[in-house]
Amino acid sequence: MPSTSALSLLVALVVLVVVRTTTTAATRGNPEAGKKIYLESCQSCHGPTGKGDSEMAVYLKPPPSNLTGKATQTKTDAELRKILLEGRPGTAMASFEGAFEETQLNDLIAYIRSIQS
Ligand code: HEC
């Protein structure tokens, strides 16, 4: 027979999981906020409009992706998120793990979606 405190812990955990799942599902990033983060952290490589046309681009191999193009836009949000968190080993695309809050990640992805060409 589980103790009362173990039971309340279990209840708290279930509530936490449910709340997290619903907020994640309900969270739509804000592209305007994402743009600000993009201009601070991404444009030096991906260029001011995301087309991969920064001044730095000519020095990078592989070059920074054109984020407005098909290859990026056909990726799922989960795939984009994974790239942001893990980076692309062996390329200039670094891991941004720990650099952004949840909401900032959602905002960045929303911004990327907003620049589809
Ligand atoms: C130092 C340069 C640099 C910075 C800064 C940078 N990237 Fe990248 N990024 C790259 C390069 C280079 C690639 C291409 C990697 C490859 O070809 O595998 C890339 C690839 C990507 C991809 C994968 C595109 C695809 O379709 O495969 C995404 C998404 C991306 N970057 C988003 C971002 C975002 C968002 C930021 C800012 C938080 C950012 N990058 C900052 C250099 C950079």
Check which CATH number belongs to the domain holding 41 and give it. Answer: 1.10.760.10
Residue pointed to by tokens 């980076």: 87
Split at pLDDT 50, 70, 90, the class of 62 is very high
- Choose between 24 and 91: higher pLDDT: 91
Q: What DSSP string describes 21-70?
A: HHHHHH----HHHHHHHHHHHTHHHH-TTSSS--GGGGG-SSPPP-TTSH
Split at pLDDT 50, 70, 90, the class of 1 is low
Q: How far apart are the CA of 64 and the centre of ligand 1, in A? A: 6
- Distance, in Å, from the CA atom of 24 to the CA atom of 106, rounded to the nearest integer, reads 9
Instruction: Give how many domains the chain has, as a whole number.
Output: 1
Question: Does residue 105 sit in helix, strand or coil?
Answer: helix
Q: What is the pLDDT, as a whole number, of residue 21?
A: 58
Q: What is the pLDDT, as a whole number, of residue 87?
A: 98
Kind and range of the H or E run holding 71: helix 70-73
Domain of residue 58, residue span: 4-114
Q: How far apart are the CA of 111 and the centre of ligand 1, in A? A: 14
Predicted TM-score of the model (pTM)? 0.83
Is the predicted pLDDT of residue 112 greater than 80, yes or no?
A: yes
Name all residues whose Cβ lies below 6 A of ligand 1: 41-42, 44-46, 60, 62, 64-65, 67, 71-72, 75, 80, 83-84, 88, 91-93, 96, 108
Give the mean model confidence (pLDDT) for residues 97-115.
97
CA 116 to chain centre: 16
